[in-house]
Chain A
Amino acid sequence: MNDAIVIKEPYSDRVMMLCIYIFLSIVFVVIAYPLLYIVSSSFSSSSAVLAGKVWLWPVEPTLYGYEAVFQYPQIWNGYLNSILYTGLGSLISVALTVMMAYPISRKTFTGRRFLLWLLLFAMLFNGGLIPYFLVVKNLQLIDTLWVMILPSALNIFSILVARSFFQTSIPNELYEAAQIDGCSDTRFLLRIVISLSKPVIAVLLLWSAVSNWNSYFNALIFLNSENRYPLQLVLREILVNNNISMTNMSLTAEQLKRFEDMRTLLKYSVIVVASIPILLLYPFIQKHFVKGVMVGSIKE
């Protein structure tokens, strides 16, 4: 279709395009440099990193950091747990989000304003940690797989964003037409709404996966067994030390030194290893952002 009419771009547009490319290239370099620094550092010897010799490419290349990661049994266990929690958690979360967002996006849905306020209120107000903990405990979820999935499944922010998406991108005429055809609400949601909202569902999936992957706090408070720890909690063990203070030391000098050495050794390789799965998710999400996908399908 685009090929049929070829209008030569005006001069100003070409300048504009050039500017965009230059701008994006600058953004690319600024963002890519520190990332490259991490990757290069992860492949360099720790003494070279410490001495500040690493600028762009690995210095004294070694796989020692990665070997150390591989020798860390908790990391692998955490990896598997995280993949499980993220996979299952995102699916459930996205399903719940759509189930909530679609009805309240419909003007004919009585009570949608009430639900909307209910959501908004719940997003802002909370009773603090203790009652939350008690509820989860009374549901017998503590230290189970489900505690990593159910309490955080409903994301109000996502629901509100999804609702506004549904509202703007699904034309009312379409819905009326479907009704005349005798299409039930469930069918309409499953067949039409979901296929028309692929970009937003992709985003919901991404948001949910990323927040599941990055979260550690629920794991911290609800999980008791170390073998259920997700990756992020294991990483905190390696990277975070809030205990360094000369006067209130809960670590002894030997432990402190060990911690510091380990952190130096593992810091960069562990980030690379931990980010790869969630980075790989992006291209799958990305392919749904094709211009005009919605409008096109409405016409068919």
Chain B
Amino acid sequence: MVALANRTWIKNIYRHWQLYLIVALPVLFLITFNYVPLFGALIAFKEYNPIQGIWRSPWVGMKQFDLFFNSPFFWPILRNTLMLSVYALCVGMPAAIVLALCLNEVKNQRFKKVVQMVTYAPYFISTVVLVGMINIILSPSTGLYGQISKLFGTTPSLDLFGDPKIFSSLYVWSGIWQETGYSAVIFLAALSGVNPELHEAAKMDGASRLQKIWNIDLPTIRPTIIVLLILSVGGLLSIGFEKVYLLQNIMNLSHSEIISTYVYKIGLINTNYSFGVAVGLFNSVVGFILIVTTNLLSRKFSDSSLF
């Protein structure tokens, strides 16, 4: 049995030598730009000093991690980070799928193209400008939000920018506005793999449109959904800092301080690369655990998984 397996193994390599040749180049890139720099993660356990370099800087063990875990803000910022990213994932992904499914149903090509194009466009607005626009359009005093409230004869009741409880919604829904169209692209591509004969057959059977979506379209794109879901779970702790930082103010700080903004603020006062790398390593380890767990779960409860 073992011998047989061994032989297939060798035979496979021999038969597919071209594949190994093909894969060699990207693997070279992978090693150069991803694996060689990885030794720098050592910095997390050292007191990095540029003159001594990465290897010769003195070891400090878990000191940087202690600083991070023992910070009185550790739990609040961890909670805020997770709240934002889980919220964003739970709303963002379904929104993109729904948009893709709806667009896929549309027969009028011109309408379809226009909607697709317009929903995709906001992705190219830079964060700074996006935040500036949110401020102008949603301003309770001068913005559209204020004007609409006035139309209904009420004064704007929500302090969208100041209320800490609204912060996560502000962050997530502005993200939905900006990114849904772009995220839907991959699902649109996946939907183009649906076999039209299946639809025809379903039609003959008298299936309703909703049933066709549910029984044909969704299963086709399910592998894509699962792969994307697993991959995004790995990044739950690593939300970029720029947008959150720009939306922050002293009013919502209790809910808007996340890991990346906190590390950024400490770095502004004092450059401590070791600390930054230690926090990054923590994020990666958590991300890794989350990915593996999600993958296990998805293998257990569905037939598709990432690996």
Q: Tell me the A residues contacting B by CB distance below 8 Å.
A: 2, 5, 7, 9-10, 12-13, 16-17, 20-21, 23-24, 27-28, 30-32, 34-35, 37-38, 52, 55, 96-97, 99-100, 102-104, 106, 108-110, 113, 115-132, 134-136, 139, 150-151, 153-154, 156-157, 159-161, 164-165, 167-169, 184-186, 189, 199-200, 202-203, 206, 210, 213-214, 232, 235, 239-240, 267, 271, 274-275, 278-279, 282-283, 285-286, 288-295
Contacts and interface: CB of A to CB of B under 8 A. Distances in A.
Interface in B106-162: 106, 111, 113-126, 128-129, 132-133, 136-137, 142, 144
Nearest to B227: A164
Nearest to B147: A55
B89 interface: no
A128 to B, nearest CB: 4
Interface stretch (B28-36, B72-80, B247-255): B28-36
The A interface, classified by DSSP as helix, strand, loop or mixed, is helix
Contacts of B41: 125-128
Interface string B6-28: 00010011011011101101110
Interface of B: 9, 12-13, 15-16, 18-20, 22-23, 25-27, 29-30, 32-43, 48, 54, 99, 102-106, 111, 113-126, 128-129, 132-133, 136-137, 142, 144, 177, 181-182, 185-186, 188-197, 200, 203-204, 206, 208-210, 223-224, 227-228, 231, 234, 273, 276-277, 280-281, 284, 287-288, 291, 304, 306-307
Contacts of B30: 100, 118-119, 122, 154
A16 to B, nearest CB: 5
A221 to B, nearest CB: 13
Given A132-B40, A135-B32, A289-B188, A24 B106 contact: yes
A116 B19 CA distance: 15
Contacts of A293: 192
Q: Which of B102, B122, B185, B306 has the most CB of A within 10 A?
A: B185
B46 to A, nearest CB: 12
Contacts of A289: 188-189, 191-192
Contact of B37 (A135, A214, A285, A294): A135
Nearest to B222: A168
Given A5-B204, A38-B125, 9 more contacts: A24-B106, A31-B122, A96-B29, A118-B35, A122-B38, A124-B287, A129-B273, A131-B39, A161-B231
Contacts of B26: 96-97, 99-100, 154, 159
Q: Which 6 A-B pairs have the closest CB atoms?
A: A131-B40, A127-B40, A100-B26, A122-B34, A131-B37, A199-B189
Nearest to B226: A164
A55 B186 CA distance: 34
B242 to A, nearest CB: 9
Nearest to B26: A100
A127 B43 contact: yes
B35 A122 contact: yes
A197 to B, nearest CB: 9
B37 A127 contact: yes
A103 B280 contact: no
A206 B306 contact: no
Nearest to B307: A116
Contact of A13 (B13, B188, B209, B288): B209
